[in-house]
């Protein structure tokens, strides 16, 4: 039981602890917002938003480890998959619904996006960009499914079953009548939380080349007016 003692007395989240895409997401969330974080993991982002942005937060997490970490942080968290975590909530119950690096792992991405837009006024989605040059090159050169630090799995055991590129995602938003408020391609591997360089690597890339150069993208979306 020592694990819980340690984690519950750990200092509250600072921005330097955040993964790079989490940091960008935190920047998009307005003050005092009500936030639903789908796949909240150890609850770091949610705790940061509560402490620094005065947010009211709620997490959904499938792993037991993540659950214990969230409970130790005092976060309200729901143990279950994302679909269940969403059906509990009424239309527009949240100012922001966050899906960070998880879209590619859900079974029904369009359904999840629709549900997010139902319960949230705005939604924030971050995902690994499969159009990144490194991935294209790996497939071209090796002729095998590409593996990267962010996508380290074999094709047969990967949880990432719905990979897309930034262009694919833009297409989907158009199809679903979703309004893109902001899109932020990131120049660093968002999946490397402990990299000392990460803070220096953040650069906003020109949009035209982002599909080729950005390994991760963050989108702020809302329901289209039409």
Partner 1 sequence: MNQDPAHDPGSVGLVTTQAITLFEQGEPLRLDSGAALGPINVAYETYGKRNSDSSNVILICHALSGNAHAAGRHHAADTKTGWWDGYIGPGKPFDTDRFFVICSNNLGGCDGTSGPSSIDPKTGKPYALDFPLITIGDMVRLQRELLKHLGIHKVLAVAGGSMGGMMALQWVLDYPDSVSGALVIASTPRLSAQNIAFNAVARQAITQDPDFNHGNYYQGPKPERGLSVARMMAHITYLSEKGLHEKFGRRLQNRENFSFALETDFAVESYLKHQGSTFGKKFDANTYLYITKAMDYFDPFPDPETTARHLKSVNARLFVMSFDTDWRFDSSRSKELVRILNLHQKNVSYQEFHSPHGHDSFLLPDHEYQLSIATFINRLYNEHMRRQPQKDSHP
| Nearest one of 108, 94, 34 to 222, comparing CA atoms | 94
Q: Are 190 and 215 in contact (CB under 8 A)?
A: yes
Q: Is 1 in the site for partner 1 (CB under 8 A)?
A: yes
Residues in 56-85 at the binding interface with partner 1, rule: CB under 8 A: 56, 58, 64, 67-68, 70-80, 84
Give the nearer residue to partner 1 in terms of CB position, either 8 or 142.
8
Residue 90: CB minimum distance to partner 1, A: 6
Could you tell me the end-to-end alpha-carbon distance of the chain, in angstroms, rounded to an integer?
A: 53
Residues in 78-137 that interact with partner 1 by CB under 8 A: 78-80, 84, 88-90, 93
Q: In whole angstroms, how close is the CB of 108 to partner 1 at the nearest point?
A: 20
**Contact assessment for residue 117 and residue 178, using Cβ atoms and an 8 Å cutoff:** yes
Judged by beta carbon, residue 71 or residue 172, the one nearer partner 1 is: 71
Interacting span for partner 1 (CB under 8 A) from 3-11, 131-139, 180-188, 196-204: 3-11
CB of 57 closer than 8 Å to CB of 120: no
Identify which of residues 86 and 184 has a Cβ nearer to partner 1 in the complex. Answer: 86
User: Residue 68 Cβ, how far from partner 1 at the closest point, in Å?
Assistant: 5
The residue (of 48 and 94) whose beta carbon lies closer to partner 1 is: 94
Rounded CA separation 162/53 (Å): 32
Tell me whether residue 67 or residue 135 sits nearer to partner 1 (CB atom).
67
CB of 89 to partner 1, least distance (A): 6
Q: How far apart are CA 184 and CA 186, in angstroms?
A: 6
- Provide, rounded to whole angstroms, the least separation between the CB of residue 70 and partner 1: 7
206 contact partners, CB below 8 Å, separation of at least 6: none
Taking the complex as a whole, the smallest distance from the CB of residue 52 to partner 1 amounts, in Å, to: 17
Interface residues with partner 1 (CB under 8 A)?
A: 1, 3-5, 7-9, 34, 56, 58, 64, 67-68, 70-80, 84, 88-90, 93
């Amino acid at each position: 039981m020592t694990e819980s003692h340690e984690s519950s007395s750990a200092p509250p989240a600072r921005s330097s602890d955040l993964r790079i895409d989490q940091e960008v997401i935190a920047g998009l969330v307005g003050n005092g917002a009500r936030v639903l974080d789908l796949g909240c993991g150890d609850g770091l982002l949610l705790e940061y938003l509560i402490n620094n942005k005065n947010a009211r937060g709620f997490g959904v997490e499938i792993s037991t480890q993540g659950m214990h970490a969230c409970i130790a942080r005092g976060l309200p968290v729901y143990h279950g998959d994302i679909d269940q975590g969403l059906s509990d909530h009424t239309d527009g119950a949240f100012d922001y619904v966050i899906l960070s690096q998880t879209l590619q792992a859900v079974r029904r991405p369009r359904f999840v996006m629709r549900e997010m837009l139902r319960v949230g006024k705005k939604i924030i989605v971050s995902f690994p960009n499969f159009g990144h040059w490194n991935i294209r090159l790996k497939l071209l050169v090796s002729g095998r499914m590409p593996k990267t630090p962010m996508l380290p799995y074999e094709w047969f055991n990967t949880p990432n079953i719905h990979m897309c590129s930034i262009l694919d995602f833009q297409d989907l938003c158009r199809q679903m009548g979703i309004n893109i408020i902001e899109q932020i391609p990131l120049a660093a591997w968002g999946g490397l939380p402990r990299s000392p360089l990460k803070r220096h690597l953040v650069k906003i890339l020109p949009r035209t080349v982002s599909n080729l150069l950005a390994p991760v993208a963050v989108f702020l979306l809302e329901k289209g007016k039409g």
